[in-house]
Structures are given as structure tokens and as C-alpha cells.
Amino acid sequence: MSSPYARRRERFLRALPERACAIIGGAAEMRRNGDVHYPFRQHSDLLYLTGFPEPDALAVFTPGRERRFTLLVRPRDAEQERWTGRRVGVEGAVERYGADQAFPITEAPQRLHELLDGCDEVFLHPGDNPELDALVLRTMAALRRRERQGCRAPRRITDIQTVLHEQRLIKDEEALASLRRAVEITAEAHRLAMGAARAGTYEYEIEALVDYTFRRHGGYPGYGTIVAAGANATILHYVDAADVLRPGQLLLVDGGCEWQGFTADVTRTYPVATAEGRACFSPAQRRVYEVVLRAQQEGIALARPGVTIDDIHRRCIEVLTEGMVALGLLSGQPAELIDKGEYKRYYMHRTSHWLGMDVHDVGDYAPGGQPRPLQPGMVFTIEPGLYIGEGEQEPPEYRGIGVRIEDDILITEDGHEVLTRAIPKDPSELEALVGSGRT
Ligand code: GLY
Ligand code: MN
Ligand code: MN
């Protein structure tokens, strides 16, 4: 058993009840316009367990049967393959992807009927793929109707997240190797963006440089790269990337490379350099930046097994709220401003999310309703920010300043590792690097 996929399947199969059937639908091609499609990205659950790269696939796991891993895939088709590319096909699904048996995806209704017959429990991610949900429900109903003839329908549907997403939450060796490579490429992209961030450059040019760097190494953007100059940075998921960089602005770049299905997620904020390449925070920008940096550093310092993401969020909110008072954005007692939620005027998102195959990765944040203690092998972001609107009521020197600093953290046995530590965030280091054309 050599491939990471085979090892993951073995663990997954062992975690399922003997009489279960787990069903995982792959992604479909998405039409963009006319007969043009968006670039295809496999569903993360299917990718995690199989590595199978094509649209219209279905994986079925039956731990109690002799053939435990079934793949349904697009069959080979010489005419179609001439136009739209090679296919693995039914035989390839067995030979190259380790399925115990494989069938054409067109046989899904009949094969599911056979595979579900006699199982007690169906593991599925309800609501994730309504078409698949409907097919499974129809199949269960058909089996129920035939119980007098000796069929037996499953009695329960269980959310697959209780098993598979728990497994995805703790990164295995191969997942960590992919994340580390994703981080390396992401570091190069951010450094190139810093070097290029001069007044007169357009946001889309920086975006192109970041995405080009990902592609140059065989990766992809793990999510839409955010490049936001000036007040655009106060829009959390700004995607227009259409404005020119002006002297005196800050530039926020949130970009992460996806490598072999795993993505980094990194934000840096720094001053736009002059056309000649000199970069300097204004005193007001630097004050805001240092509050966010301190919040992030204190949050990171807490990260170790047993601590919760809520503890880290709480600490970041405390530092940010104290900062808001010190800057004159809010007035009052920080503890009271936190209790009343007043800080949300400038910090409206959570500090952390799980990171992995999806940028906002799977994994229960509060199993049984209780915040989850961190464990070795978990990876998540710490990304505090301050986003100050341009309204009349804001102090003029801070209007339109948006800062976020985001790193990727791995929990280890005795603490944590900041996977993205090679990407500069010290303000003086940034001033030296930004606009220099150097990396
Ligand atoms: N890039 C999305 C996020 O930071 O959560
Ligand atoms: Mn993030
Ligand atoms: Mn991000």
C-alpha cells in the first residue's frame, strides 16, 4: 500500500461501520459562457481519497464487502477525447487509481442500487450535491419498495463530515509536504509583488504577477487573489483589481498557491512605493499596522495543543480593541467595547479558519457545541485586521486604511510552526523591500 490515497482510503474505511456505504460525488464541469467552461477543479473529498482528476466521477466505499472501493467514471470515447482530452476510463480507474471495481458513470442508478442494497447506513455530505442527494434518496426509496422481494434499504443517512472531515482536519505527511510546497511558491509570489508595488502600477498587474508565479511552478491560485490598494483594502473580499496604485496608499495582497490540492492563504499589507521605488508607511498607517501586527503576534504566541481558536480570536480582539482606543477610533473601556461588540466596526471577521484542500477547510469548529482544543497536525490561519471606513465620523488621518496580516500555522506536539514565516511582515523590512524590484 504505497500511495497516500490508498493509505487515506484504508483509514477512512476502517473508521466506517461495517455495514455502511459512503458515497462521494466528484465535481462537474461548470459552464462559464457559451460553450466555454471554468477551469475544472475536483471536489476536495474525492481528491483527498482518490486523486482522481476528471469530472463526473463518483466514489463508493463499502467496508463490509469484498470490493470496498468502487469508482464510477466517464468511459473512454475516442471521438470525445479527440476534442476534450484524454480520459482515464473504466479500466484506468482500476489499474491506475486502485479501484476494486469501476463502471461507467452512466450506470450510477443501477450500481448504487446494488451497492446500497443491504447496507444499514449511508454516509453522504447532504446538501453539497443536490443531484446526488436526489439519486441516493430515489435509490433508497426503490430499495424500500422491493423489501418484500428480499432487498433491504439503508435506515440512516449520516453526514460524512463526522468521519472524513475529521480525517482531513489532521494533516498527514503528504498533506503537509504539499502545504509546505504551496507556501514556498506563495512566498516567492508575495516577495515579487512587494518588489513590484510602485505607484502607477495597476492592481491587476500585481494580481497577474502573483498568479503567474503560482502557475510558473505548476500551482494555481487556491482562491481568487485579492489585490486592494488604498480604501479598496477595507472591502474584505475585493476582487475588482482594476485601480491604479497611488503614492501614499497601502496595498493589501491576499494570495495563496494551491499545490497538489492543498492551498496556502497569506495576506500582507505594505505601503505603495514611489515610481522611483521608495516605500514608507505614513505615521498613521504605521500606527494602525503595528496594532494589527501586535495582535497577530500575540495570537500566534498562544497557538499550541489544548488552546482553542476562540482563545486566539479573543486575544486578537483584546489587542485590536486596545489599539482602537489608543488610536482614537473608539473611546471607552476595551472590555466593555468588546462585550458590546463595538470593535466590530473596524474588525468584523473571525481571526482563524482551518486550512487545507479548501481555503476555508472542512473540520468541525465546535464538536458537541464546545470550542475545539487544537491538536498536532491541525493547520489554520491567524489573520487579524483593521478596516477603517471613509465616513465623516472616522478620524481623518485613518480614513480608508485597511490592514490585514495573515499567516498559516501548523500545530506541533510542543507548540506551533508558522509555515509562512519566510514572508516579510516587519514594517522596516517591508519598507526596504517594497518597490525595490528585488525579491
Ligand atoms: N483569502 C480568504 C481568507 O483569508 O479567508
Ligand atoms: Mn484566510
Ligand atoms: Mn486570505
CB neighbour list of residue 25: distance below 8 Å, 6 or more residues apart: 43, 46, 57, 58, 128, 129, 131, 132
Q: Compute the average pLDDT of residues 236-261.
A: 97
Looking at the structure of the chain, the number of domains it has is 2
Cell of 240: 475588482
Instruction: Name the residue of 254, 309, 403 to mutate for ligand 1: max ligand atoms within 8 A of Cβ.
Output: 254
Statement to judge: residues 58 and 178 lie in one domain: no
Taking the C-alpha atoms of residue 4 and residue 298, their distance in angstroms, rounded to an integer, is 36
**197 lies in some domain:** yes
pLDDT(162) > 80: yes
Give domain status of residue 334, yes or no: yes
Are 274 and 291 found together in one domain?
A: yes
Instruction: Output the furthest CA–CA distance in the chain (Å, rounded).
Output: 83
Ligand 3 centroid to Cα of residue 382, in Å, is 10
Averaged pLDDT, 202-219: 98
132 has a pLDDT exceeding 90? yes
Each residue's pLDDT tens digit, 318-339: 999 999 999 999 999 999 999 9
Question: Taking the CB of residue 298, how many other CB atoms lie within 10 A of it?
Answer: 17
Atom of ligand 1 at shortest range from CA of 404:
4
Whether the CA torsion 333, 338, 339, 344 is positive or negative: it is positive
Q: Does residue 424 belong to any structural domain of this protein? A: yes
160 and 175 within one domain: no
Q: CA angle, corner 13, sides to 375 and 132, nearest 5?
A: 100
In the predicted model, is pLDDT for residue 1 greater than 60? no
Is residue 269 within 8 A of residue 252, CB to CB? The reply is yes
- Catalytic sites, residue numbers: 35, 237, 254, 265, 349, 353, 360, 383, 387, 404, 406
Q: Is residue 27 part of a domain?
A: yes
- Say whether both 231 and 161 belong to one domain: no
Residues in contact with ligand 1 (CB, 6 Å cut-off): 223, 254, 265, 353, 359, 383, 406
User: Is 438 contained in some domain?
Assistant: no
Q: Are residues 79 and 220 in the same domain?
A: no
State the amino acid at position 80 in one-letter form. Q
Tell me, yes or no, whether 439 lies in a domain: no
Which residue's C-alpha cell is 473601556?
333
Residue 359 CA, ligand 1 centroid: distance in Å: 7
Q: Which atom of ligand 1 is nearest to the CA of 223?
A: 1
Report pLDDT digits (tens) over 379-393: 999 999 999 999 999
Instruction: Answer yes or no: are the C-beta atoms of 160 and 24 closer than 8 Å.
Output: yes
Specify whether 116 is located in the same domain as 19: yes
Q: How far is the CA of 383 from the centre of ligand 3 (A)?
A: 8
Identify any residues that bridge with 385 across adjacent strands, giving them in sequence order.
Answer: 404
Q: Does some domain include residue 247?
A: yes
| Last-in-domain residue among 137, 168, 199 | 168
Cβ-proximal residues to 115 (8 Å cutoff; 6+ apart), any chain: 21, 60, 62, 70
Q: Give the three cell numbers for residue 133.
A: 442527494
Residue 168 cell numbers, joined: 482531513
User: Is pLDDT at 438 greater than 80 in this prediction?
Assistant: no
Which has the minimum average pLDDT: 1-10, 235-244, 256-265, 272-281?
1-10
Average pLDDT over residues 71-85: 96
| CA-353 nearest atom, ligand 1 | 5
What pLDDT sits at residue 56?
A: 97
pLDDT, position 63:
98
Task: Answer whether residue 439 shows pLDDT above 70.
Answer: no
What ligand is nearest to the CA atom of residue 238?
1
Answer yes or no: do 148 and 219 share one domain. no
Question: What are the start-end ranges of the E strands in 176-271?
Answer: 220-221, 226-229, 250-255, 257-259, 262-263, 266-271
Among residues 168, 196, 224, which one ends one of the domains?
168
**Does residue 358 sit in the same domain as residue 322?**
yes
Residues 207 and 162 in one domain: no
On whether both 187 and 277 belong to a single domain, the answer is yes
Q: Give, using CA atoms, the residue closest to atom 3 of ligand 1.
A: 265
User: Domain limits at 68?
Assistant: 4-168
354, part of any domain: yes
- For the segment 55-83, the average pLDDT, to the nearest whole number, is 97
* Residue from 190, 267, 349 to probe ligand 1 pocket by mutation (most atoms less than 8 Å from CB): 267
CA 336 distance to own-chain centroid? 34
Q: Which residues pair with 250 in a beta bridge?
A: 271
User: Are 337 and 386 contained in the same domain?
Assistant: yes
Helix 173-196 crosses helix 203-216 at what angle (to 10 degrees)? 140
* Ligand 1 mutation pick, 207, 253, 309, 353, max ligand atoms within 8 A of CB: 353
Q: What pLDDT is stored for residue 437 in this prediction? A: 86
**115 and 141 co-located in one domain:** yes
Cα–Cα distance for residue pair 22/64, rounded to 1 Å:
11
Give the whole-angstrom CA distance, residue 164 versus residue 68: 16
- Which atom of ligand 1 approaches the CA of 256 most closely? 1
Cα-to-centroid distance, 67 and ligand 1 (Å): 40
CA of 352, nearest ligand number: 2
Find the 255 Cα to ligand 3 centroid distance in Å: 6
CA of 379 to the centre of ligand 2 (A): 11
Q: Which helix (H) or strand (E) holds 58?
A: strand 58-61
Nearest protein CA to atom 4 of ligand 1, as residue: 265
- Looking up residue 137, the CATH number of its domain turns out to be 3.40.350.10
- Ligand 1 pocket: which of 238, 265, 352, 407 to mutate (most atoms within 8 A of CB): 265
Q: How far is the CA of 280 from the centre of ligand 1 (A)?
A: 26
Cell numbers given for 352: 482563524
- Tell me, what CATH number does 356's domain have? 3.90.230.10
How far, in Å, CA of 406 to CA of 318, rounded?
A: 17
Strand pairing report for 385-387 and 402-404: antiparallel
Which of 135, 152, 168 corresponds to the end of one domain? Answer: 168
% of the chain beyond a pLDDT of 70 = 99
The neighbour count for residue 375, using CB atoms within 10 Å, is 12
pTM given for the model: 0.97
